[in-house]
Every structure is written in structure tokens, then in C-alpha cells.
Homo-oligomer: A and B are copies of this chain.
């Protein structure tokens, strides 16, 4: 833990917010989404509440109201502003939040410069990982905010290379329909291959490796696995078009009961942010609206859709332990961090199997505590443990994940109906 690292993470948040106007930073387009300026303030509140107040001698809170206004869900800290009303609070404004950030940064740098208390270091480290998570949320949230605007404005212009992708996907075209002719079981998506594992007792979870991990990745423990294959590639938009053209959104036999009900209520007939253009499918990205690229990994699909797709193709989603057993560690020397927050085709990835840096990958596993799980002590123990029901686990990382934030044991989680994160999938199957 160095002051440099603190400054680096904190300033990245401000850089992400920089292209956004005060108005952009104020809007909350649905209860799941938070305004940009709320993200900026809440991550600051985290350091103030969990580091400065208990450990910085003589520290006085910046504003008593902020304690409630920028608490997300920490019951132990006290009452909180209702989540669906985050978009109703015009003041403090974006600039005033900047002042708040700078004030807390000043106190933090002072504290980090003169003390070596282990708890301060650990909580600061946690705070930085927390802020990195909110950097990712900030991007997926502002994408939703911009998408509900009929003007469909862009967050940033797309870099030239990213715009120059392959052929667009025809909307309603009758192309390859149904699961493609597989010789030995279902074919792998996107022309990839399967990674076989013989099963048996494996060890998963954080413990064998140094460095930071969240409490929900521990303890490292043993799991029995049957033999299985996991795909060495992500499911692509082209794969998804085949599912869509085969009527996958209209066949209840492919869907979980809750998924079918959600699809019907919500009127889903394609991934989120897809819309029909003139004879072509369009997709809204952080760079604006453009044609769907069949070669890029599909994203913004719910667990219900991912599960239905896997059933349609005759496969299944991998279990968390299967994924973790087969996946590599992220490559530090050549990280999978895209230039622009949108997934790219495998051909343009540094690592063709795309385990990291493109889309969070839904697993078959409900998000539940590991055997022997103990939440972190104190209010920060509310970080992970209290969400361990009604959610599905995801693995990998995505195009909005900050550099250095991913790891093989990382456990992300969302409700099965969530589509606004950068969610996608890779397939698995029983090996017999």
C-alpha cells in the first residue's frame, strides 16, 4: 500500500467521470443504477467512514448529512437514503462532490503518510478495491442512463480500430439456424475448442496465492468434481443470432420457469441494448448506436437467457469450481484490458480464450458461502456475505473492470434477471 496507489485509483474515478456533464452525473435511470456523482461521493464516504473516522485523530466529518446520503447498504453505520431516490438529490452537485473528494484525499494522504497501522492499511486496500468495483458500476450505470435518452448520446467516441469491425448482423435474416452439426456432442461456440478436466477432488478459493482477496473468496477448500469440458471461447453475437433466429426467445421448454415469466413480463426478444434497425440488428454501446458485430462476445444477457441458450445448444453453464479449475490467472505482463469499454472479437484480444477483460461469465452456481466462510469483522462484513441468496455467481472480469482488479478466484454476483452489467457466458458440458 503506497500513497501512489491510493492516488492512482482515486484519480481514475475522476477520469471516468470527466466526459460527463453535471446533468449526466445526476440521473438515476432505474433503481439498480446509481448516479455518477453518487458513485464518486459514496466511494469517498467509504474512506471517511471506515478509515478516517476511526483512525485519523481529530478527524471531523466533512458534512453530517453525507453520512446518510452516501451510505449504500451498511446497516451498522446507521440509516441511509433510499436507493431508488438517489437520482432525486441535486445537491451536492458534481463540482461539490469533487471538493468533497479532494478534502478526504487530503486527510487520507496525510494518514497514509504517517502511520503504519495494519488495520488502516487493510481497510484502505479494501477501500481501493471497493472503488474499483464502483468504477465498473459507474460505466455500466452511465451506459443505462444514456441509453434511455431518445437522443442515444455517446459517453465517448469509439477509437478508430474498435469501430472498424467485421460484417454486421442481419436482423431477421435466416442464417445458420439451430445448433450447428456437431460430430461429438455440441460444438464449441465461435469455432473454439473444449478444455477437458478429469474431475476428482480439487481445491478452490483464495489461499494459495498472495495478495488481496475479498472475504467471499475464502476459505480455500476442497470440492469433488465429475469429469467435464469447459469451452475455450466465449459465446458470440453470431452464436446468439442463431439462437434468436431459431426462436429461442419463444420456446418455454428452454427456459427456467422464473426466466420465462420475466421474459414475458419484460418483453425480452434479444439481449439488452439490441434494437432492430433497417434489416440489421443495432446495439447501443458507450460509443453510441452501431450494427451488431457477430464476432464479438455477446453481452448484456441475463442468467435466464444464458441458461436457456446453453440448454438450446445441448450444453450447460460451468459450475464456479469448474470455471476456476480450468481458468488461468490473468496475465499481468499483457493484461486483458480493452482500450474502450466494449467487448472485442477474440481475434483482437491479447488472449484468444478471453477468460478476462471482455464479459463477466454467468455460472451454473448460485452465489452461496464457501464451507467455513466467515465475513470480515465490523461493518465492512456487510460487504459480501449478506447477499448470498437469490443471486448467481459470475467469473472472469469485463471490459469495464479496472486494470489489476481481476483474479482467478474472484466471485462476482448478480440476480438472475440482471442484464445491465457486462454479462456474457462460456459453455460447459459433462464429459463422459
Interchain CB contact (< 8 A) of A389 among B76, B150, B303:
B303
Secondary structure at the A interface, as helix, strand, loop or mixed, is mixed
A153 interface contact, C-beta 8 A:
yes
Q: Is A145 positioned at the interface, with any CB of B under 8 Å from its CB? A: yes
Which one of A47-55, A128-136, A271-279, A365-373 is at the interface?
A365-373
A24 CA / B74 CA spacing, docked (Å): 28
B368 contacts A390, CB within 8 Å? no
A429 → chain B closest CB, angstroms: 11
B224 adjacent to A256 (CB under 8 Å): no
**A26, CB-defined interface residue at 8 Å:** yes
Which B-chain residue is minimally distant from A259 (CB atoms)?
B389
- Shortest A205–chain B CB gap in Å is 12
Looking across the interface, which residue of chain B has its beta carbon closest to that of A29? B88
Does A73 touch B at the CB level, under 8 Å?
A: yes
Q: Is the CB of A389 within 8 A of B258?
A: yes
B94 close to A371 (CB less than 8 A): no
B372 close to A145 (CB less than 8 A): no
CB distance from A145 to the nearest CB of B (A): 7
B23 and A90 within 8 A (CB): yes
A222 at the binding interface (Cβ < 8 Å): yes
How far, in Å, is A92 (CB) from chain B's closest CB? 8
Q: Contacts of A153 on B, CB cut-off 8 Å? A: 91
Which residues of chain A from 5 to 33 have a CB within 8 Å of any chain B CB?
21-27, 29
Q: Does A68 interact with chain B (Cβ within 8 Å)?
A: yes
- The 8 A CB mask of A383-399 against B (1 = contact, 0 = none) is 00011111010000000
Pairwise interchain contact B226-A224, C-beta atoms closer than 8 A: no
Q: Are B27 and A372 in contact (CB under 8 A)?
A: no
Please, how many angstroms separate the alpha-carbon atoms of A92 and B24 in the complex?
Answer: 10
Contact present for B89 and A87 (CB under 8 Å): no
Chain A 138-177 interface 0/1 with B at a Cβ cutoff of 8 Å (1 = within): 0000000110111101000000000000000000000000
> In the bound complex, what is the Cα–Cα distance between A255 and B73 (angstroms)?
13
Contact check, B23 vs A94: say whether CB atoms are below 8 A apart: yes
- Tell me if B226 and A81 are in contact (CB < 8 A): no
Complex CA gap A90/B21 in Å reads 8
**A371 with B91: in contact, given A21-B22, A388-B256 (CB under 8 Å)?**
no
Q: How far is the CB of A297 from chain B (nearest CB, A)?
A: 23
Counting contact residues on chain A (CB < 8 A from B), the size range is 35 or more
Docked pose: A325 CA to B303 CA in angstroms: 31
Bound CA–CA A226/B372 (angstroms): 9
Within 8 A of B (CB), among A237-260: 252-253, 255-260
Within 8 A of B (CB), among A65-115: 65, 68-69, 73, 75-76, 81, 85, 87-94
The answer to whether A364 has its CB under 8 Å from any CB of chain B is: yes
The reply to whether B69 and A150 form a contact with Cβ atoms under 8 Å apart is yes
State in angstroms the CA–CA spacing of A69 and B221 once bound together.
50
Assuming the A-B contacts A23-B26, A221-B226, are A88 and B145 also in contact, with contact meaning beta carbons closer than 8 angstroms in the complex? yes
Instruction: Decide: B23 and A149 in contact? CB cutoff 8 A.
Output: no
Does the CB pair B226–A21 fall under 8 Å? no
CB within 8 A of A68: which of B150, B201, B226, B386? B150
- State whether the Cβ of A430 lies closer than 8 Å to any Cβ in chain B: yes
A286 smallest CB distance to B (angstroms): 14
Answer whether residue A122 sits at the interface, using C-beta atoms and an 8 A cutoff.
Answer: no
User: In the complex, which residues of chain B have a beta carbon less than 8 angstroms from the beta carbon of A387?
Assistant: 256-258
Name 10 interchain pairs, CB-CB below 8 A, sorted by A: A21-B90, A23-B91, A23-B93, A69-B151, A76-B252, A89-B150, A91-B149, A223-B224, A256-B389, A258-B389
The 10 A-B pairs at the shortest CB distance, nearest first, are namely: A366-B366, A75-B252, A23-B90, A224-B224, A22-B22, A24-B90, A23-B93, A257-B386, A23-B26, A27-B90
New A-B contacts (14) at CB < 8 Å, excluding given A21-B90, A24-B91, A91-B153:
A22-B22, A23-B91, A69-B150, A75-B260, A89-B149, A91-B151, A226-B372, A253-B382, A258-B389, A304-B389, A319-B371, A366-B368, A372-B430, A390-B390
